[in-house]
Amino acid sequence: MRWKSGYSAATLGPSNTGKPMTDFFKLAQPGITELSPYQPGKPIEELERELGLSDIVKLASNENPLGPSKTVTDGISDQLTELARYPDGSAYLLKNKLHEKLGIDPARITVGNGSNDVLELVARVFLAPGLEAIVSEHSFVVYPLATKSLGADLTVIPAKDFGQDLVATSGAIHENTRVVFIANPNNPTGTWIDRDTLTAFLDRVPSETLVVLDEAYAEYVEEPDYPNGLELVDQYDNLVVTRTFSKAYGLAGLRIGYSVSHPDIADLMNRVRQPFNVNLMSLAAARIALDDDEYLSQSVRLNAEGMKQIMDACSQMGLEYIPSVGNFLTIDFGRDAMPIYDALLHQGVIVRPIGVYGLPNHLRVTIGLPEENARFIDALQKVRSAE
């Protein structure tokens, strides 16, 4: 016979029905009520629906315009028969591949559902009410989100020439500062920090303060004095480097990234990580993508050419921009950029307004294929001549 547990209503005490509406915002952790939800780039389908346009160009989310590598789309198909199985929670094969291709010690790796996930894991391990994280003005919005969602304090250091001021950052660190977030290069400004500046900073950070170095765009940077964070983790135990497959590897839709840190930090992050935070297809795709050197170099080459195409067009139009080493360029319109953003939408071109990053006069455009860049340039010229 089957058993079920049951109570008579009376034994449960008086009923709550008819009580006034609950104010869930009052019940929520204070850090969370202060947050605004992350605003993603406008999806192509949404603009199609809203304006009845077709042939839309999306240059709004720093995605790889080449689409995924063919070796990946071909190579992951044999995973389809495995979908009933849980993925390898330890990401054994991917960690070995990262070791083989990039020389990373597997014990230092924590995998994430996008690097966003690992950024949150660092925050969950090291931040709490009464503790603090430091970020720069105009830095990636995910850092404040991760910090405030844990009820920790956030200190924002004013930017210097649109980039992170590491002297001011260093001066702001105190005993409750557990995490400093640095994006190198930074999104949405495209600014970057050279090796000497970064190591001089790292030499001065107390060992109890973690430095999270977000290298989402590292593969695109061709500057000779750009520091490779992966080469610094041996030297600085408090350094956590994050990388992603979303940008130069062309796998944003699969959500996979990782961090490289001291093995003890990786151990701690692995304790709070969901056991299967990275799915089966993503693990396989990332492994295959790491082997496709040709795709990676093609992505970097295409980006460099497209960057030049858009910079040249801006110069011709007399528009200033923030010089960028990423796969995007942030353009200054000298006044509220929202009307220009809207007018570009009507031309079927989606770029990214960055008012939430404290840059209401700028728009960020992702470097696309040559013909997509040309569509953007053409639309921008039309919009400006109509003013």
Binding site residues, ligand PLP, CB under 6 A: 62, 114-116, 140, 183, 187, 214, 216, 244, 246-247, 252, 257
Q: Which two tokens stand for residue 282?
A: 């993503």
For residues 147 and 187, which CB has a smaller minimum distance to ligand PLP in the complex? 187
Residues paired with residue 163 on neighbouring β-strands, in sequence order: 160
377-385 long-range Cβ contacts below 8 angstroms, 24+ apart = 377/309, 377/310, 377/313, 379/344, 379/347, 379/348, 379/349, 380/313, 380/317, 380/340, 380/344, 380/349, 381/317, 382/347, 383/340, 383/343, 383/344, 383/347, 384/317, 384/340
Q: Which two tokens stand for residue 257?
A: 């990234």
For residues 257 and 353, which CB has a smaller minimum distance to ligand PLP in the complex? 257
Residue of closest CB approach to ligand PLP? 114
Q: How many helices (H) and strands (E) does the chain have?
A: 14, 13
Residue 244 CB, shortest distance to ligand PLP, in Å, is: 3
Rg, the chain, Cα only:
23
Q: Distance between CA 236 and CA 201 in Å, rounded?
A: 11
Residue 246 CB, shortest distance to ligand PLP, in Å, is: 3
For residues 63 and 313, which CB has a smaller minimum distance to ligand PLP in the complex? 63
For residues 244 and 347, which CB has a smaller minimum distance to ligand PLP in the complex? 244
Residue 291 CB, shortest distance to ligand PLP, in Å, is: 20
Q: Which two tokens stand for residue 53?
A: 């346009």
Q: Which two tokens stand for residue 287?
A: 């492994």
Residue 97 CB, shortest distance to ligand PLP, in Å, is: 17
My answer on whether omega of the bond before 224 falls inside 30° of 0, hence cis, is: no
Interior angle at CA 378, CA 372 and CA 384, nearest 5: 135
Smallest CA-to-CA distance from 367 within 61, 160, 33 is with 61
Task: Give the rounded distance of the alpha carbon of 24 from its chain centre.
Answer: 29
